[in-house]
Structures are given as structure tokens and as C-alpha cells.
Structure 1
Amino acid sequence: MTSVVRSILAGAALSLAALPAAAEEKPRAEVMHWWTSGGESAAIKTFADAFDKAGGEWVDTATAGGENSRAATINRMVGGKPPTAAQFNTGRQFDDLVTQGLIRPIDDLADAGGWKKAMPASLVAAASRDGEMYALPINVHGQNWIFYSRDVLEKSGVAELPKTWEEMIPALTKIKEAGYIPLALGGQPWQERSLFNAILLQQGGRELYLKIYQDKDEEAVRSDGFRKVVETYGKLRDMVDPGSPGRSWNDTTALLLNDKAGIQEMGDWVKGEFTNAGQKPDQDYGCSIGLDDTMLMVGGDVFVFPKIDDPSQKKAQDLLVETMISKDAQVAFNLAKGSMPIRKDVDTSQFDVCAKKGLKLLQSEDSQVPVFDILLSASLVGSLDDVITQFWNNPSATTDDMVEGYVNAFEIEG
């Protein structure tokens, strides 16, 4: 062999040896979620940008509507073609997937990162099954917020937001008489339920809320306190506009943004729409937690990570968890989303006056309750949603109808 040939072969060998490092692919993560509104898209982009900056490649699979997105995720997981990660709400929506052994536990990553202890214990528990953590909580959402157009209230002669639902009815009547939509509501079951539960917590109180949803106490459902809540809820039917049925929450928020409606009850993800539109709290719009800022209904979002044999996908999942839970990503995401960071050890000085109200209530367990889909099975959530929406959409439905609907749903659940 000539020296020239030897030199060529040696050079080729060196080039081949260098190929794996040079050609190593970035961890590629397909992330399924339902964040498609303007504010939501801006929020999820902060995670995508952080993941790409950390050396990954984010592949976005967004499906409008939580139910649609979850159904698509479940179908793919059961069908053997799971994404790298998928969004669910904090709660019991992914129980069946855990039971079937389709979700990867992430305790090893939590222990290595040391971030579990920085999260509220109640939300860690909501993400865990039998002591193992199967989901990554990425935010804290308050779900009983009241948002209002300051301009509409002023022009309607409503000097300030009422502090009780009893006072709210005449205030909404004033707004209606002034030519505005009093109560902006998207007529979808989950939005109708959100409004009902906000009234239950504020008017009925924490004890009644927990007796019903945590204890499934039929006597509490038949109580005068619960009946009063149902009666108040029924009075609000006349305060929504004809375009309410089937309307998305963000299209409903647009009514406030454009000063066409007075008030919307909804989770604090609404703030993402205001932020995206350049509006500021206490200037363009107002915010209150359940009217009197005393009790927060706590929920949020999580990501689950399907069990996948492919080592490259496991690597991508590891990087996703590390990225999403990092302090910088937590601040950036939640500022855009309108929610509060899941970590208690991040700098919240940049958060607005609304978020600071929520952060204050998060300091005490006595100032918060879990959203009902953390406390109840998915099947019972569905049954109660049916009861609530049937009552709301049938003006002839009585308080007794709703009470008995709740009792029957509890009895069927067992």
C-alpha cells in the first residue's frame, strides 16, 4: 500500500469517526396541546423558544378545544403512536392512561432537579398516583375570576364591582338597560359550570363547596345554601346575549376587550387575551377573585409524557421537563398565559396586580379550594356538567330539578 493511499484511508477514518458527533440530531419533541387563542399561542411559544434554545427541536401539534385535543392524544397513545408530551388539565383526566401503563412516571427527574419541593403540595398530589408523579404541573390557574370592562361599568352607572352575587343582579340589570351585554358567557358546558361553581364558592362558602365536591354530601346538596346558589344561577339566564350558545371563551372575552359587555366569569387565562391586546389591569379592565378576593379556586395545566422505548424520545422528554420547570421559563410562560408560576421560588415582581391577588391567597390553604375536576372522577364531572347545562339552557327547569340531578349523579357514581 502506498503512502498516499494510507494517508487517504487514515483521513477517511478520521472523518467517519467525527460523523456521529457532528451529525447527532437535536432532541425532537412533538408536543400536543389546545392553546390556540392569541394569548395562549404567545404563552406556549415561550416554552417552544426555550426548548429550542436548550438544544431541542419543538414540533407543535395544536388542536382547538381541550376535549378535542385530549381525545386526539388518547387515540394516539392507545394506538401506539404517542406524541412526546401532551397537555391535560390538573386533575383526573389522565387516570385511565396511568392505569393502562401508558404514561411515564417522572419522579426520577423531579428528584434530580429538586423542584418538587418548590411546588404547592396539593398540586403535586393532583399530579401523582399511588405516590408516583405522572404529570408535570406547569402553572397555577385561578378559575373563579371576575373580569370587567371599566368603561362599560362606568357608562352604565355601576360605580364599582359588586361584592356579592345578590348585589350583582341589579348591577347587571343596569348594564343591560345601558345597552350592553351584562354577562359575557360562552354557552359551552364547561363555561356554564365555571360560572355556577364560582357562585357556589362565593355565595355558599368554602365549607359547602367541599361538602358537595369533596365529600359528595347529599344533605349539603339539599341544603338551603345550595338551593340559594341554584336560584341565583338561574336568575343570570336573562343576563346573557343571544350569541352565547356554543361561543368559545376567547371570543367571549373579546366582548369585554371591545367594550360590548360588562362582566365575564372565567379563569385567569383570560388575562393572556388582555395582555395580547395591549390592555392593562386597573386601567383598561378590572379583575376580582370571586367578587370579594377572599377565596381562590385552584387548578391548572399539566403535561404528561407517554412511555416510549425510543431513547431519543426519552432524551427529548427529559429536556422538555427540564425546560418547562426552569425558573426563567416559568416566569416567561406564566406572564404570557395570565397564570401563576407552579414554583414558589421564582421572582414574581414582574407579575401584575391581578396575579398578586392570587399569589396572596395561595399562601394559605384556608383561602383556596381545588377545582372540582381535581376532586371528582371524569365520569362524575361529565354527569354534573350535564345537570348544570340542562338547568341553564331550560328556563322552565326548577331548583328542585338541579338538586335532584346532583343527587342522582352522586348516587350513580356510588
Structure 2
Amino acid sequence: MKNTMKLFLAAAALTAAFGTAHAEDKPTIEIMSSWTSGGEAAALNVIKTEFEKRGGVWKDSSIAGFGAADAAFQNRIVAGDAPGAKQGVIGLAAADFVNQGLMNPIADLAAAGKWADALPKSIYDLISYNGEVYLAPTGAHGESWVFYSKEAFEKAGIADEPKSWDEFFAGLDKLKAAGIVPVAWGGQPWQQSKVFNMILLSQVGIDGFVKIYVDKDKGEASVEGVKKTLEILGKLRAYVDDGAAGRNWNDATAMVITGKAGVQFMGDWAKGEFTVAGKEAGKDYGCMIAPESSGMVYIADSIWFPKTGNAETDKAQKLLAEVVMDPAVQLEFSVKKGSVPMRSDVDKSKLDVCAKKGLELMTAGSIVPDQAIVLTPQQVGLLDDFVDEYWSSGSQDAASGAESFFAIFE
């Protein structure tokens, strides 16, 4: 009996040891992200599910708010405890880490997968540094969107989407008269900067926008464009509710979903919240590009791969990059998150009416880059501070505000 028991225990120990070793052999990765809202989490789960289906082990380290997530990531880097992957935007912030030698290149994987053929050249160039590919793009977002409640518009007697800012403000007056909060305002600096940019694009056009942010142009047309932008931004103050300060973007989206508010200025990731709530684009809610705009501001998300000094993590990074760039994953991810797939070879017929509008603008080249793509992280912070101060104070005139804006680039 004792011998039998010993044999049983030995077998059990061997099985446990084999199971542990087997688990350790699986490609394991910890990913840090700020994707925590309903739509974002659902989109991230698309990647996770496929990663696990291919034998990977997923460790989620999501932190609400990209500012908090970025700070936590930097602390981990400084402490020498980098995660295996990080969700972040394509732009100069990623370039800083790459130039410091803190990121793993995935050029061999990109070459094998022919990413250069599948991605728009502008995007492929942005994920490449010194001839090496470092980032795996997940999706592009348009940031010039105004989402509106069909129910609220009908109640207020707004029959058509406003084409000009004058028509837009007339519509907001109708919403206010109907007892509906006209604008679901996300009172956080980064959200307010998005609104500033979509208004700016409508005032200076695509070439003018690029001149200001890329060329740092301070000519008369640029200055006048910023002045007009600040005037329109300031006028919006009269149409937000008292609880707007500090409001999260997804809470503002919920106000439109429930018909408590008429419109929200936000990137197309807001569609993910509508989708989770069972709302259909074009039926329950509408999406329009900001009035008088000739295109849209865009930003692109990606996965970064920090150096960890662990060979097994390096393998897991390659697997994750393959999963992210899989055409089926790109499509399902975009449907859940409200973005536009980065690959040009996905089935576009499955995209909603809003995504198709955004894709048309991107295909036509009617797009300009978000400030995070063309400005340093420090300049992005200064822009957020400037817009927040202008919005919150309500006392600065547009002319002096324009001077403060251009000081960001000095």
C-alpha cells in the first residue's frame, strides 16, 4: 500500500512538474495599455484571444488613462523592469525610446509578412526608424468627428446635419431649448486639445494645419486661423453642463448614447461605446466631420516591444506582432474599437458607415496628423496646458491666446 502511494505521489509530482515546465515553455507576454473602456477592452480582447489561440500566455497590465499608463511604463523602464509590450501611439514619443536603444526591432517579421505592401506608405514610414521596423500598427483613428443622438436631434427639431459653424450653433440652441444638454463635454486637457485641432483644421485647411504644426509657421493666415479657432472654441462654453469638468470621454459618450446630450466631439474610438451599448451607426446615432472641415485629423495606435533581456519574451513579442497584423484580427479589432484597419487588404464591406467615411478621407489623403505624431511629448503637454487654460479661464481674448499658442513651439 505504501509503495503504491509512493508511486502515485511520484507520478503526481512528475505530472505537476511537466505541466509547469510546459506552461513556462509557452510564449508569455505582459502588455501595458490604457484600453480599459468597454469598446477598448473588447478590441484588446480580440488580440488576446488570438494570441492565446496560438499558444501564447497573456498577462494584462491595463491602466485607465493613457497619461497614467505612459507614466507607469516610463517608471518600469527606469527600474529596469520593462513589460513585454506596450500599447502606444505612433509618433515622436515612440521615437524617443527607439533612439535610446530601448526597443526591439521586428524588421525580419515585417519583411516576411510583406508589411510594406499591406500598409499605407505614410504609416509604414512612421513605424520605421533608421531603416528598421519597430512598431506593429493596430488601427488608425479619425479625430475630427462629431457624434450625435438621432433621438435628441429629432426631439429638438434638427432635420439635417449642420454644414457650417453658424448652422451648428443654431442646432445647439435648439437642443438647449428642448431641455437637452447640447454638448457632452469631456473636460480633460487632452480631450479639449482634440476639439481645438478639429476646429483649427476647419479654419485653416489641410495645408494650413501642416504649416502650423509641422513647419511652425507664424504667418498672418496661420495667426488668423488660430484666432478664429479660439473664438469658436470659446463660444462652445455656453453649451456644456456644470458637470463637464474632469469628465472622462466614455462618460461623455454615454450621455449621447442615452439621449441626455445632443453631440460629442471625439475620435472615432467613441463608436466602440455605441457598439457595446447595442447602438447602430446611421440608425441610432450619427457621425459627421466637424463643420466646414476639408478632412480629418488622424492618430494611429500601435504595439511597442521594449527590450527586456529575456529571449523567451522576445519570441512572444514576435508572436504578438504576427497576431496584431493578421488581416482577420485587424478587421475584428477595428469593428470593436471603432477604428480603421491599417492593412489595405481587409474586407472593408464589414465596416460601419462612419468607418467607411473615415476610410474614404484617408484613401483620398484628406488627413492631417495629430499633434502626438509631429510634436515632442513636451510640446504636446504644453498644448494641452494652453487649451485647458484658455477654456477654463474664459477671460483670455483670441488675439492674446494666439500668441500663447505659438509660444509652444519656441
Which TM bucket (shorter chain)? Answer: over 0.9
**SS, match of residue 351 in structure 2:** coil
Match of 1:382 in 2: 381
Question: Partner amino acid for 1:247?
Answer: R
Question: C-alpha offsets along residues 135-182 of structure 1, whole Å, 9 cap, x if unaligned?
Answer: 211101111111000110111121112112232112111111111111
Q: Does 1:372 align with 2:371?
A: yes
Contact 1:70/1:87, CA 8 A, preserved across alignment: no
Match of 2:278 in 1: 278
TM-score under structure 2 normalisation?
0.92
Q: Distance in 2 between matches of 1:44 and 1:177?
A: 40
Match of 2:137 in 1: 137
Q: Does 1:114 align with 2:114?
A: yes
Q: Distance in 2 between matches of 1:34 and 1:60?
A: 11
Q: Does 1:360 align with 2:360?
A: yes
Contact 1:220/1:226, CA 8 A, preserved across alignment: no
Q: CA deviation at 1:272?
A: 0.3
Match of 1:332 in 2: 332
Contact 2:85/2:305, CA 8 A, preserved across alignment: yes
Structure 1: which 5+ runs fail to align? 1-11
- Number of residue pairs the alignment of both structures matches: 396
Q: Distance in 2 between matches of 1:221 and 1:131?
A: 37
Q: Distance in 1 between matches of 2:299 and 2:374?
A: 11
Match of 1:406 in 2: 405
Q: Does 1:314 align with 2:308?
A: no
Question: Partner amino acid for 1:172?
Answer: L
Match of 1:103 in 2: 103
Q: Does 1:341 align with 2:341?
A: yes
* Structure 1 segment 225-236 matched on structure 2, within 5 A: 225-236=225-236
Q: Distance in 2 between matches of 1:48 and 1:20?
A: 22
Match of 2:162 in 1: 162
Contact 2:144/2:266, CA 8 A, preserved across alignment: yes
Q: CA deviation at 1:406?
A: 1.5
Match of 1:3 in 2: none
* Structure 1 segment 6-405 matched on structure 2, within 5 A: 23=22, 25-220=25-220, 223-291=223-291, 294-365=294-365, 367-405=366-404
Question: Once the two structures are aligned, what percentage of the paired residues are identical?
Answer: 45
Question: C-alpha offsets along residues 37-88 of structure 1, whole Å, 9 cap, x if unaligned?
Answer: 1111111111100000011011111100001111111111221111110011
Shift of the 309–223 alpha-carbon distance from structure 1 to 2, 3 Å rule, reads closer
Contact 1:184/1:253, CA 8 A, preserved across alignment: yes
Q: Distance in 1 between matches of 2:81 and 2:125?
A: 28
Q: Distance in 2 between matches of 1:216 and 1:377?
A: 13
Shift of the 150–293 alpha-carbon distance from structure 1 to 2, 3 Å rule, reads farther
**SS, match of residue 397 in structure 1:** coil
Q: Distance in 1 between matches of 2:124 and 2:219?
A: 31
Contact 1:184/1:263, CA 8 A, preserved across alignment: yes
Q: CA deviation at 1:316?
A: 0.5
Shift of the 220–300 alpha-carbon distance from structure 1 to 2, 3 Å rule, reads farther
**SS, match of residue 308 in structure 1:** coil
Question: Partner amino acid for 1:361?
Answer: L
Contact 1:212/1:220, CA 8 A, preserved across alignment: no
Q: Distance in 2 between matches of 1:358 and 1:141?
A: 8
Q: Distance in 1 between matches of 2:73 and 2:158?
A: 45
Question: C-alpha offsets along residues 239-281 of structure 1, whole Å, 9 cap, x if unaligned?
Answer: 1111111010000100001100001110000000000000001
Question: Partner amino acid for 1:120?
Answer: P
Q: Distance in 2 between matches of 1:226 and 1:407?
A: 9
Structure 2: which 5+ runs fail to align? 1-10
Shift of the 149–402 alpha-carbon distance from structure 1 to 2, 3 Å rule, reads same
Q: Distance in 1 between matches of 2:406 and 2:298?
A: 25
Q: CA deviation at 1:293?
A: 7.5
Comparing 279-288 with 305-314, greater Cα deviation is found at 305-314
Q: Distance in 2 between matches of 1:225 and 1:301?
A: 29
Q: Distance in 1 between matches of 2:20 and 2:177?
A: 70
Match of 2:3 in 1: none
**SS, match of residue 219 in structure 2:** helix
Question: C-alpha offsets along residues 367-388 of structure 1, whole Å, 9 cap, x if unaligned?
Answer: 1111122111111111121111
Match of 2:4 in 1: none
Match of 2:8 in 1: none
Q: Distance in 2 between matches of 1:43 and 1:303?
A: 13
Q: Distance in 1 between matches of 2:222 and 2:29?
A: 49
Q: Distance in 2 between matches of 1:385 and 1:329?
A: 33
Question: Partner amino acid for 2:373?
Answer: I
Question: Partner amino acid for 2:29?
Answer: A
Q: Distance in 2 between matches of 1:215 and 1:167?
A: 32
Shift of the 352–222 alpha-carbon distance from structure 1 to 2, 3 Å rule, reads closer
